[in-house]
Chain A
Amino acid sequence: MSGNSATTAAPIDFGRYIRDDQEQGVFSVNREIYNTPELYDLEMEYIFEANWVFLCHESQVPEPNDFYTTFMGRQPVVVTRDNDGELNAFINACSHKGSKICLTRQGNTKFHTCTYHGWVFDNQGNCVSVKDREDAGYSEAFAAQDFGLKKVPKLAEYRGWIFGSLEADVVPLEEHLGDTRVFIDLLVDQAEDGMELIPGMSSYTFNGNWKFQIENCLDGYHLNVAHKGFLEITNQRIKRLGDKYTGPDIEAMFASHLKTGSFGWKQGHAMFFSENPAPEFRPLWPEREKLTERFGAAKTDWMIRYGRNLTVFPNLQCTDNAVIGQFRVLRPLAHNKTEMQIYCWVPRGESAAARQQRLRTYEDFFDIAGTGTPDDVAAYMNCQEGAEGRLAQWQLGYGRGQTAMVQGANDLAKELDLNPATSTMGPLTMSDETLFHGSYKAWVEQMQAGHDRALAKSKQAGS
């Protein structure tokens, strides 16, 4: 990780961006966390390039010699599966002149040849050929250097979800994921062969801070306001169909007796769940007996009966609600610009009918051409523009659920053997906002730790 000029400046207290007074029951976020351009590079250096980030799903590199290109923070990265089926990841830049090596999003090749000067690397990143090396006139000292591609220091996989860290000194992936593994399992276990991403995606940018996306995935409060257009269309469809309508009762989806709640974790992850009053319309419903045999009634109930939205801090979100599952990977490009890649995930080997149902429902709401996501994107842009209203510094968007929230595990968490930082239960209309606290607290903690490390390093270098 290279030092940033900002690290040589005076120490920053990142705690100033949030207000966390649990005694008084007040949590708030300062708008400067969204509208300060300088924070972008620091977030890249201290969070995205200093800790575990999601890279890709194993279905994107299934075969030996497959590769997939992505980013870790600002840095281009390629994930490969080598001849032996092992995963590797390295910076996607030739060690010679830094030209990008893999020029397509994904592909399959045993050797990666740089298109600029022809250096060749194997799929473990080793340099296997330097064009005209024998005539190069390299000094001995120069030739003694490692010509290979720079390896990503940490690479690990949990049930097909591939993560990496550009900083070697991090906790093991299992510890980083912590309890989110329980919910990842609930996705992966839905089919005997696990899950896969349907070919095709939406790839887009929006003019807004990435943290608006982090929040929105777990925000139940906006559903019948920002997505009123979608809900109205759905109601119109039901009315049109009359007696022929065989789907779920949409009004019932918002009933106050439904069990909803959330968990937040110290790593910044968070989860929102809500009971689905009509699980029999979910594509997984016909599988319930088979699943119960394999996993027991309680786990199967969690798979089918509860809609679950999960954020794995800082760059992955996964939903499994209503009919469909969605995978979102985010990448901040500036304090006011974020790139998204969103996919529809499905259990492998599901029936053609279930697949079609998922595709059409996904496209209807989640796709960037759908009737849901565009309204979220507009909301982020509106928030980014509104965040310039610096006269009002503190956001009031973190107070719902405060009196229902408990520190640590509530009964439900204990039942699931979870150890969250906060747990909340309440009616859907409570629309908990305490589940955002953990991500912001993790943000402060990681930013401060990164900053302190960088300051110590630059002091060392200076002395």
Chain B
Amino acid sequence: MTALATRESSAPTPQVPTSTSGSRRTAGSRRPRAGHFFVLPYVVLLALFGVIPVVYSIYLAFTKAGGGFAGFSNFTRSARDYRFVPAIEHVAMYVAIWLVALIVLVVLLALVVHRLVSGKAKAVVRFAYYIPGALAGASSVLLLLFVLDPTVSPVAMILRWTGNEHFTDVITPHHLPVIFAIIAFWTGAGGWILVLYGALNTIPAEVMEAAKVDGAGPVRTALNIQLPMIRKWVSYMVILSLAAGTQLFVEPELVSQASFGIVPNDYSVNQLAYQFAFTQNDFNGSAAISIDLLVVALLCAGLFVARGKLFETD
């Protein structure tokens, strides 16, 4: 994590217009104050709902229920639980499907939107992409539950063609990673398409012009010019999505309730942590699982930061 911190500290500093040394000093002395003011509410909320809970869960993970240092016993106990490995497999499978779908489809769709010539069409498509993301997480999952139930689904024909007569056929265990990936993609991808679209817009017109003059078609331009230039944005998307993906909870929890328990309520790692805390009254084991997740997400993020050269200045 030292590596992370170092990388973070070498993040690009804002490019200050450097006309005279005087103006720079004025800007330098004023900016932090205004900046602090804007950041303050976020820092307070982050401390209350981010940092303090994390510190508290680290404290819980290394202590016993009755108090006293527990070493790694909470970690070994929770990892030996019979539901732990299956939960990891479920989440890994889901994250793999989801991330690949996200990278391929989001980039593709962003390129398509960027190619559209008519301004009106662009606006309509951008709006359409954004709508699902505007729904709050849980409610969009509920909406998807209707789509997945052949009795009431507007796409019942497709579900039946693929051999799913009942809701219970749709939610069989081997369908679940794909179903959760579809739900996550539908609710979250729209926002990312817009972000990458924005990134594509930052590519200077003269570069694109030069590519055109050199005879590059849309595919070649995408592969050789656009993709390399938005690489950082893609790795940014992957890091945040990975962190969100490993925390899978709302989707399986709601599907579990809607299926009256056929999809178990310990499907994902986060759900298992929830079971530890609230069914077994084992808050320490639960905290240990949460820390496992944090460490994995940090390691993966570190990998992407390093590989994606995210904080390297141009």
Indicate, yes or no, whether A interacts with B: no
Q: Which residues of B contact A (CB under 8 A)?
A: none
